[in-house]
Structure 1
Amino acid sequence: MPGRFASNSEQIDRRTSRSICDAVGERLQQSLRPEPRLTSHLEHLLNELRKRDRDGDRNN
């Protein structure tokens, strides 16, 4: 979307973006209390996301 970012902004590479996301995720895990038990459906969805993340990392 043109105009959403300043034209002189720098782009970050995929590896840097992944590192930032990982760091944010780690901080969130530390600050949020874990739920006692996820529903089986939610657990399935989370496992699917993890699998897709691993598969995506292999393709880059």
Structure 2
Amino acid sequence: MTGLFADDSEQIDRRTSRWIRDAVGERLQQCLRPESRLPTHLEQLMSELKKRDPEDDSH
């Protein structure tokens, strides 16, 4: 059985990574009620993603 990351030669670039993160965020906003908050663990993960994205100077 091959792992999800078995082929290191096909890594995504930062632009694609950011696009995916933004798309997931938009979907979460559509699915969750406006007054609801993300679970603490998801908030921590999103915060970590923002810290790791050097191109993210919009927030």
Report the count of equivalent residues.
45
Report how far residue 7 of structure 1 moved. Answer: 3.1
Bigger radius of gyration among the two: 1
- Report sequence identity in percent: 69
**Alignment partners' CA distance in 2, 1:16 and 1:8:** 16
Q: Distance in 2 between matches of 1:10 and 1:18?
A: 16
Which gives a bigger RCO, structure 1 or 2 (Cα 8 Å, sep 6+)? 2
TM-score by length of 1: 0.50
Relative to its length, the structure with more helix (as a share) is 1
Matches within 5 A, 1:1-60: 5-7=5-7, 10-35=10-35, 53=50, 56=54, 57-58=56-57
> C-alpha separation between the residues in 2 aligned to 1:7 and 1:29?
32
> Where does the alignment leave 5 or more consecutive residues of structure 2 unmatched?
38-46
Runs of 4+ in 1 over 2 A off after TM superposition: none
- Give RMSD over aligned pairs: 3.5
